[in-house]
A and B are shown apart, each in its own frame.
Chain A
Amino acid sequence: MQLHKLTIASGLALALSFSGAFAGGSKPAVSFGSPITESAIAAWDIDIQTATGKGLPSGSGSVAQGKALFNAQCIGCHGVDAAGGSQYGSMVGGKRPLTGGGYPYAPILFDYIRRAMPMNAPQSLSNDEVYALTAYIYALNEFIPQDAVLDAASLTAIQMPVRDGFIVDDRPDTSATRCMEDC
């Protein structure tokens, strides 16, 4: 299989999967899909590799533009100055203003707004508008100055407070024993 020459490690796993996990049948020799070009996928190709910023589009937006847009489209759920509103809590303050473990890489917010916000009209904002909203939220958190303008390079360059705040899964992290009497 040509694939094995291309990816040694994953090719080995692939061979195992054919012989093991789906032993009831092997891959048919024919494809039922059809080729497509990357340019034809462009409208769906919205993901950002947030650690490197790969995938961030051209365009830019300022904190001031973001504030105006936030007040027009986001304030109803998130509240004045993103301090918490009718539906969601505050997005401002502390090392992890965006809750849970927070964002180790600044482009995460761009990626999320672009794919999912505003909730009642997702994927309706221009790239400039997404940059502007990202700038506004990060300025409220004092990660960037109030007069900042974000684009692909400046967004990727922001050093987030929880940049080193994560560990990769290290479970199992317990070693319970099977005690049966007088436990």
Chain B
Amino acid sequence: MTEEKILQPISQSSPEKYSEGTAREEGALKPTTRRSFLTGAASAVAAATVASTTGAVAASLEVQPSSKSMGRTTVPQGYGMPSKYEDHVTRNRTDVYVNKQNYSDWSMTPIQHQQGIITPNGLIFERHHAGIPDIDPDTHELVIHGMVRQPMRYTMDNLMRYPSVSKFHFMECSGNGLTDWLAVKSKTVQQTHGLLSCSQFTGVPLSWLLDEVGLESGAKWLLFEGADGSAHARSIPLDKALDDVMLVFASGGEMLRPENGYPLRAFIPGWEGNTSVKWLRRIKVSDQPWHLRSETARYTDPMPEGKFRQFSMEMECKSVITNPSGGMQMQGPGLYELQGFAWSGNGTVKAVDITTDGGSTWRTADLEGPIMDKCLTRFRYRWNWDGGPAKIASRAVDSTGYVQPTVAELAANRRIAGFVQHHNGIFPWAINTNGEVSNAIA
């Protein structure tokens, strides 16, 4: 029997079970949902050439109730929602690091349930500093001023009249993983890596508007400021702004959700999410950075000798296995497809390597296209689990040649103490002989 012909183990119970893979034959990728896969399994068992991992003979089929009744009517107008059987797929407020209030707070994307590179809009992670404003787009305005020849104001109607561009990019909070550096604190990949989302963002290149206002000689930095109750603000170098920064009003094909900046946000590809200021109301041009609270006391990295690293904006190359991942249950020995995401704020993903023996041996995973600049890239690796203890992890390489480091390699140069940002370390999961998958960062 070849490995390729062994069907993936199947789960019939809880959403925590590892069973969300794809049944496929060579060359034919056939994605299935957890529940539809049950139906497929019965016919697979009946096929003589396919080996079953259970050996059970399926009972005769009954005609399903859905085949013997009319379904729900088409609603005249409405917004479609996921199946009621998918209500375990939720964006969860941070529950490892718990804030006492939920205005300056964050929630995390269930990336273990994400089936492609695009995060559904209702699951894009959140980080707010003074709650979520509900801003009327008819009253929202953006101003650009400071070291410019002509300060300008733009209504949303003005901005949306420009030709627009759409680009696929990930967005990651610099605090992604901050609870799990040197000790196990989190259980699931949603808790360890869920400050990560990816979408197609649509808006106007900022360079167009900066050209309109006319930059004065000596202009080097921009202030982005939000219209929320924190008036959240960051200093952004002009070079980056002119390169690929967008002012976006849409993601995933629709207008931004209120929690993600409706009606307008900055989008800075590859940089920590905090710099992509939401509810953007003002851009000011200057010759120097502002050194605000969010770039001194916050969003800085503790370093040796009491120093802090400042303006560490790029999110460096990183990857994680999402299936299986912490809290899941393997369904007996046999073939599994290890799946996960890789990304880099400095370019494209060039390779992902997988270890199943705790880092002694590595093998190259398959990358699934499209592979795009500063965008999530899906990887897949077939693994025949022998039922013994294992430690699995992924390691990504980006187009600059940078290789995702271990936590030990990061800790050699940084001070891992307190509230530490920019964790892009290799993240292992342990599998015990009972098939339980757990966080193995330490």
Contact = CB atoms under 8 A, between A and B. Distances in A.
Interface of A: 1-3, 6-7, 9-10, 13-14, 16-18, 21-22, 24-25, 27-28, 31-38, 41, 44-52, 86-88, 95-96, 98-105, 108-109, 111-112, 115-116, 119, 122-123, 162, 165-183
Contacts of B307: 165-167
A63 B212 CA distance: 45
A181 B361 CA distance: 5
B211 interface: yes
B387 interface: no
A103 B296 contact: yes
A37 B150 CA distance: 8
Interface stretch (B109-117, B377-385, B398-406): B398-406
Contacts of A37: 151
Contact of A7 (B208, B215, B362): B215
Contacts of B362: 178-181, 183
Nearest to B286: A49
Nearest to B426: A176
Which residue of A2, A22, A28, A111 has the most chain B CB atoms within 10 A of its CB atom? A22
B101 interface: yes
Contacts, number: 245
Contact of B214 (A2, A50, A99, A166): A2
By DSSP majority rule, is chain A's interface helix, strand, loop, or mixed? loop
B108 interface: no
A101 B297 contact: yes
B184 to A, nearest CB: 22
Nearest to A77: B101
A115 B309 contact: no
Contacts of B351: 178
Contact of A171 (B217, B286, B312): B312
Contact of B153 (A10, A36, A100, A181): A36
B238 A24 contact: no
A122 B300 contact: no
Given A102-B297, A166-B300, A13 B242 contact: yes
B292 A112 contact: yes
B233 interface: yes
6 contacts: A16-B242, A21-B244, A28-B163, A36-B143, A49-B286, A165-B307
A162 B143 CA distance: 34
3 tightest CB-CB pairs across the interface, nearest first?
Answer: A101-B308, A115-B231, A174-B405
A169 B311 contact: yes
Interface stretch (B59-67, B84-92, B408-416): B408-416
Contact of A166 (B100, B310, B414, B418): B310
A165 B309 CA distance: 9
Contact of B231 (A16, A102, A122): A122
B158 interface: yes
Interface in B117-175: 129-130, 143, 145, 150-154, 158-159, 161-163, 165
B209 A33 contact: yes
Contacts of A96: 297
B419 interface: yes
B216 A170 contact: no
Given A6-B214, A112-B292, A173-B413, A35 B231 contact: no
B32 interface: no
Contact of A176 (B130, B233, B404, B414): B404
Given A33-B153, A123-B231, A103 B297 contact: yes
B409 A174 contact: yes
Contact of B302 (A32, A101, A181): A101
